[in-house]
Structure 1
């Protein structure tokens, strides 16, 4: 479920980032594409990192059963019991629940950070309720150096919990000792040091709280010896704790900060001890007495009396964390979207302002530049008017749209000037001669020949029906070949073919030779590429066209006239020009 939530948040962030890049920020196409690819790559990398981390966490937390964890709506303290935790959980019990707390045993120091991380991931609402109880049973330790090394290992493990719990969790200490006399174990009695109360307090079931000094002075005939022995036992335990516990965890050790227990408590109850333990050695060093060893199968009592004094703060549930993160993502999107909208509006104002400034600088003489500037203003006005009717685009809106106040200045500037009327139209005569006529050389001549072949007369008659001799017009006959052969031969061949066509037109139509001009271009003016047969066929041609020339085609006794062939049907056309 946690992985799905992270995936949804990642997709939400990627979608909003792409929307911001494509829909809001004033960027070019290349920049948008580049940034979009970068966003996708970053999201892919983040998703892969989370997947790898979740996979590693699943492997590392495989030994932790979620059924042993408190429910997310649990209101009491969540206590991670480290140190001498085994006697508190008989028969391998995975947890102990009371009205005020949920106790989870931790067997080894390296398991403590893993359990803290797992709790933070699976029960985020309970993070603020988590504390670490260092359980100490002096009668179960025989070697001081070994006990010190174990305390330092737990010290390091507690500090390592800060990465999963956003800080070092509250640490408190509880000790259990066998009572001075077996009869003293009938009543559960706790000796505590808590914030707000000075000195050691004695807490008995049904008797309330009393300072140890006052409790020791209330000597009655029936229990004088019991109270005196308990006071002595308590004072000896304080000395032992200062020597063996506080001197280890309350001092900085290299990169490990000092740990300050928030509360402390001790209970005199039957405890299974080992021979020649540290507590026996401590008492024997003070007195000549030797505490007796006790064998018991009962679980040690839990220090519930200390739970109300633990620092408490309200946690945040996983659902609330999800909503907070989603709200943060949406808030950042809205912030950057509004910033982009502000920039877009400033660019719109700047653009329209530049167009107005240019328009106002132009005097209208000549009118063309100002007409063009006016057209730009009309385009700006049409764009703003369209946004007024249908709504401004989102990249300009978000409550920051400034286009409304630009419409009035635009309309005022457009109406302040009109271009001068156009000049009257000028009528010109456009003399249109006939188009150039192209004849396929192979339809007129044999390959490599320049004499007209049989059957070419019909082709010439059909093609040259519009070519007539007219005063003032020169009939130009030009021959062309492909690139087959050498240049000189091709030029001579093209000229000879043009002369053959000229001679036929002259003799057939009785046209004076002064009406003709003959040209041979050879292969120098191809229409298409000579690399293909189709191109070479197109290049083998004879072209006939009329070219105006004042003294051309004058018949004997005729006056020179302007090239206006109106009497032959090729009437000039008249066009209106501005």
Structure 2
């Protein structure tokens, strides 16, 4: 469970880091790509390391052995000399005030704490560690010291799973003196709330040892009790509370939050440490007594354990998630601030350059205005659709840039482009084409009666002026022989020339007459329509020096002094 939450937290951190790099931070494309690859590599390495170092150690604790999620009592991880406290193949004992979980060896204690924190995170603040010591089942002081050293290391390892160092307390079970005649177990406690050693009796009422000894029986009984207590306290101080030397240093002194001594019959081994200690003091050896199946649990000490106010593993994970999200939001806001500063600086630089240019020549200022127009279009688009998220988060500055940009664009108008130079080209009118059948009879060259009106309407654009030659050309179709057609076309051209000369009083030097016969057709002669188009007389103006002038460079009286040329712009 905890591994899953850590994996999800790692993936969340990787996603937020990628979002920060790709969506917010003002970096180049290459830098974004490099950072994204680095983030993915770091995330993959973290997940691989976590998977590689998973611990597949079986815990002899099932789901039914753990207290329920809403359990309100103390949860005790019991380690040390635990065999007489649990039945065979039993991993826990439940009482009215507590839930005792059995750690069979030093390696299982941190794994049990890890498993409990993973599946019951709400109970982490209720967990404490009880170190049990039964001197009558220990035969070697060196073996006891080595065992206690391993347990103290295991307890120190539990802090990473139990939100810090859990409360640690100890209980010593010892057989009572031979003169002790009271029934049941006798409890002596040392707790932070009460000074000295207290005796728990009559519903766990705490009495000072001196008062209890005064109320007890004979003097010999009081001496035995005092000897037993002093010996047990000396044993506890020697093995539990003093620092232990290890190879790389020392294990720190174990601060016990409470200590308990239980005088109850204990199944003893031969030549155990307790017998050795009592024999060394009194030269007497405690006699073995009948012991029950299970030793009593220290219920009298549970109300005096310190109450922890730490958070559960789930709440710790939530704090980590909140911390990662807060860091992401802070960096995203910083990136948004930097992006807005770059936007303001970029548009401001464009405005400064624009206002410095006078407009003469207009090209540089026109280019600067184009940059401002591009900025204006971008800001207007963000105004309609919303600015990108990398500029948002309440820090967007583009709104205040729109008015100065619009005012700058409207403050100057580029000059109009220069008008093209107009060149006047003098050219003659288009060629006038007259239908021969409308002017002449077939095979004739005399003008038909009534053709004058057609000639006047067709030749209204022909104006006579010095330097222009009036060319009159006659054409026929392919009917007849070539010589006759050439003569006919020339005669018809001369008839039109004579009419223009006589009617307009134009000197004959203004004319040139040509007869082409059938040599220049404009259509096919195989059809009636084509032959009709080929029978024609064409009149056009051709520029020619000294044309249409009388001797003395005077114009003919009928020549028009008006406009005889077309003007083209």
Q: TM-score, length-normalised on structure 2?
A: 0.69
State the distance in 2 between where 1:207 and 1:8 align.
48
Residue 432 (structure 2) aligns with: none
State the distance in 2 between where 1:420 and 1:180 align.
119
The SS at the match of 2:325 is helix
Which residues in structure 2 correspond to 1:461-476 (within 5 Å)?
none
State the distance in 2 between where 1:287 and 1:354 align.
98
State the Cα distance separating 1:412 from its structure 2 match: 1.8
The SS at the match of 2:384 is helix
Residue 465 (structure 1) aligns with: none
State the Cα distance separating 1:248 from its structure 2 match: 6.2
State the Cα distance separating 1:230 from its structure 2 match: 2.6
Are positions 1:200 and 2:197 aligned together? yes
Residue 116 (structure 2) aligns with: 119
Distance 1:177 1:185, change over 3 A: farther
Once structures 1 and 2 are overlaid, which stretch shifts more, 246-255 or 173-182? 246-255
State the Cα distance separating 1:40 from its structure 2 match: 2.2
Residue 155 (structure 1) aligns with: 152
- Asked whether the equivalents of residues 243 and 251 of structure 2 are also in contact (C-alpha less than 8 Å), the reply is no
CA offsets, 1:511-549, max 9 Å, x none?
xxxxxxxxxxxxxxxxxxxxxxxxxxxxxxxxxxxxxxx
Residue 29 (structure 2) aligns with: 29
Residue 325 (structure 1) aligns with: 320
Distance 1:288 1:5, change over 3 A: closer
CA offsets, 1:466-486, max 9 Å, x none?
xxxxxxxxxxxxxxxxxxxxx
Residue 360 (structure 1) aligns with: 355
State the Cα distance separating 1:166 from its structure 2 match: 4.7
State the Cα distance separating 1:379 from its structure 2 match: 1.8
The SS at the match of 2:77 is strand
Runs of at least 5 residues in structure 1 that lack an aligned partner in the other structure? 431-557, 560-573
Are positions 1:238 and 2:227 aligned together? no
- Asked whether the equivalents of residues 137 and 176 of structure 1 are also in contact (C-alpha less than 8 Å), the reply is yes
Are positions 1:211 and 2:208 aligned together? yes
CA offsets, 1:318-342, max 9 Å, x none?
5434433332232222111111111
The SS at the match of 1:282 is helix
Are positions 1:86 and 2:83 aligned together? yes
- Backbone CA RMSD of aligned residues: 3.2
Which of 327, 330, 334 matches 2:329? 334
Residue 496 (structure 2) aligns with: none
- Asked whether the equivalents of residues 151 and 249 of structure 1 are also in contact (C-alpha less than 8 Å), the reply is no
State the Cα distance separating 1:387 from its structure 2 match: 1.8
State the distance in 1 between where 2:204 and 2:387 align.
77
State the Cα distance separating 1:281 from its structure 2 match: 2.3
Distance 1:239 1:372, change over 3 A: closer
Q: TM-score, length-normalised on structure 1?
A: 0.68
- Asked whether the equivalents of residues 113 and 158 of structure 2 are also in contact (C-alpha less than 8 Å), the reply is yes
- Asked whether the equivalents of residues 189 and 205 of structure 1 are also in contact (C-alpha less than 8 Å), the reply is no
State the distance in 2 between where 1:62 and 1:189 align.
34
State the Cα distance separating 1:232 from its structure 2 match: 3.4
State the Cα distance separating 1:39 from its structure 2 match: 2.2
CA offsets, 1:17-57, max 9 Å, x none?
2222222222222222222222222222222223333xx32
Are positions 1:170 and 2:147 aligned together? no
Instruction: Figure out how many residues of one structure are paired with residues of the other and give that number.
Output: 434
Structure number with greater Rg is 2
State the distance in 2 between where 1:251 and 1:52 align.
29
Residue 301 (structure 1) aligns with: 296
Which of 163, 186, 191 matches 1:189? 186
Structure 1 residue ranges (4+ consecutive) displaced by more than 6 angstroms after TM superposition = 250-253
State the Cα distance separating 1:396 from its structure 2 match: 0.9
Residue 39 (structure 2) aligns with: 39
State the Cα distance separating 1:6 from its structure 2 match: 4.2
Residue 551 (structure 2) aligns with: none
State the distance in 1 between where 2:200 and 2:25 align.
68
State the Cα distance separating 1:360 from its structure 2 match: 0.8
State the Cα distance separating 1:77 from its structure 2 match: 2.3
Distance 1:219 1:37, change over 3 A: closer
